[in-house]
Amino acid sequence: MSDTEHTGTCPRRRPLPLHRVVTGEPGPPVPARLPDGSPAWLVSRHRDVRHVLSDARFRRSQLYAPDAPALSAVPDLVNNPDLMFNQDGEDHLRLRATLRRAFTPRAVARWQPWITEIVEQCLDSLEHHDPPVDIVAAYTLPLPVMVISRLMGLDDEVRSKLRHWSEHAFSDGSHDGQEVESVLAEFAEFGAGLLSRRRREPGDDLISSVVRAADEEGGIPEAQLVQLVCGLVVGGHDSTMTMLGNSLLYLLGERPECWARLGADESAAEALAERMLHLVPLGDDRGTARHAAEDVEVGGVLIPAGSVVLADCFLANRDPELFPAGPFDDLFAPLEGPGLAFGAGPHYCLGAWLARLELRLGLHRLAARFPGLRLAEPMDEVSWRLGTTSRSPMRLTVTW
């Protein structure tokens, strides 16, 4: 494997920064393999990926039928059959409706003042450090943790456990199956407790509004609500932390000339955040999985009923049909077409507007307050937090 090829799901050598991972050109659907060797199809052209993610004949729940091949070597949160992401049709809609109003662009825009306060608070405490400083511990982790904690009304004791749960929820292969299962059971217990506390004493937080909406709707299995809470706690901070860390590595390591404009102009920061999301994948996963409920033709190829299909958003985001060559050239230019960083179709990321806002403010305000920020270690020596779902620097030493 050459240094420009992707590191695979279980990297044995020092992994490449995700922005340097290259996996070839998108093309028609081709046969592929799941981690356990079972057959699958890989789709990679932009229009084919959108088709698979949007067409109701491609589903998630069947991926967890008793005779289905395992999608990951050890259990993890993403592959919990009760997770909202793993529901289809009416079951999925009913669950998603409990959150629909919370995450609209307008609702998220109303959060901007307190999210800005949290950003400034994190920057104030960063200023009190003597450089060099680990920017992950000091900024890219606390910022999204404080945002999701405020949204969900989580106290300090819970906050201290978030990373422990997340590191097991998005398995990186360093914990055995039994250990992951026991930590995820403890995490689910926390989710169940939080739901019942909010039922007894509702507040104006996100979980109280989920409980209200679910109880009005009726009939939603409690196990699904518990996994919804766990998914939000983890997905609500881990992906944003990952994107912040990987974007900083790229910007400070490869494009320091962009730093001044990023700090000077918030709308330029908005465009840059969008491009980072588009170009730097969250992790090493090559393709989000779906199950074909019937025979479906995709891009001129017949995908037989029962197939597992992997939709590669990373390659699709580089499809030259929509995105011309040199996508990293102008980081402040608007995207040429609809990106797939947040997926597409019924499972389109619910937190997309929140993540965009955190990334935009988080990068813009950091560049404004620390115009001389730079890496204090060579990019090739960065130690990585591994994981297929999300991967980012474990520590990133910076100075100013």
**Size of residue set near ligand HEM by CB under 6 A:** 23
Judged by CB, which is closer to ligand HEM: 352, or 376?
Answer: 352
Secondary structure, 3-state, 129-174: CCCCEEHHHHHHCHHHHHHHHHHHCCCHHHHHHHHHHHHHHCCCCC
Question: Is residue 335 at the binding interface for ligand HEM, with CB under 6 A as the rule?
Answer: no
C-alpha of 130 from chain center: 31
Q: Which of 11, 17, 26, 235 binds ligand HEM (CB under 6 A)?
A: 235
Residues numbered 354 to 393 that lie near ligand HEM (CB under 6 A) are: 354-355
Which residues have a Cβ under 8 Å from the Cβ of 60 and sit 6 or more positions away? 85, 86, 87, 88, 289, 290, 291, 347
Q: Which residue is nearest to ligand HEM (CB)?
A: 351
Residues numbered 100 to 129 that lie near ligand HEM (CB under 6 A) are: none
Q: Which of 44, 240, 246, 388 binds ligand HEM (CB under 6 A)?
A: 240
- What's the rounded Cα separation, in Å, for the pair 252 and 244? 12
Question: Is residue 249 at the binding interface for ligand HEM, with CB under 6 A as the rule?
Answer: no
Structural contact between residues 92 and 346, judged by C-beta atoms closer than 8 angstroms: yes
Q: Taking the complex as a whole, how short is the minimal distance between the CB of residue 281 and ligand HEM, in angstroms? A: 9
385 — phi, psi (to 5°)? Answer: -85, 110
Q: Taking the complex as a whole, how short is the minimal distance between the CB of residue 351 and ligand HEM, in angstroms? A: 2
Q: Which of 17, 29, 343, 387 binds ligand HEM (CB under 6 A)?
A: 343
Q: Angle at the Cα of 392 (from 386 to 397), degrees rounded to 5?
A: 115
92 — phi, psi (to 5°)? Answer: -70, -45
Residues numbered 142 to 201 that lie near ligand HEM (CB under 6 A) are: none
18 — phi, psi (to 5°)? Answer: -65, -30
Find, among 390, 99, 344, the residue nearest to 245 by Cα: 390
Q: Taking the complex as a whole, how short is the minimal distance between the CB of residue 91 and ligand HEM, in angstroms? A: 11
- What's the rounded Cα separation, in Å, for the pair 159 and 176? 24
Q: Taking the complex as a whole, how short is the minimal distance between the CB of residue 99 and ligand HEM, in angstroms? A: 7
Q: Which of 79, 80, 140, 239 binds ligand HEM (CB under 6 A)?
A: 239
Residues numbered 72 to 91 that lie near ligand HEM (CB under 6 A) are: 84-85
Q: CB under 6 A: which stretch of 38-46, 229-237, 252-260, 300-308 binds ligand HEM?
A: 229-237
Find, among 96, 87, 23, 36, the residue nearest to 308 by Cα: 36
Q: Which residues of 13-41 are buried (b: 16+ CB within 10 A; e: fewer)?
A: eebbbbbbbeeeebeebeebebeeeeebb
Q: Taking the complex as a whole, how short is the minimal distance between the CB of residue 71 and ligand HEM, in angstroms? A: 12
Judged by CB, which is closer to ligand HEM: 53, or 138?
Answer: 53
Q: Taking the complex as a whole, how short is the minimal distance between the CB of residue 228 and ligand HEM, in angstroms? A: 8
Judged by CB, which is closer to ligand HEM: 26, or 374?
Answer: 26
Structural contact between residues 114 and 358, judged by C-beta atoms closer than 8 angstroms: no
Catalog residues that contact ligand HEM under the rule CB under 6 A: 53, 84-85, 96, 231-232, 235-236, 239-240, 243, 277, 282, 288, 341-343, 347, 349-351, 354-355
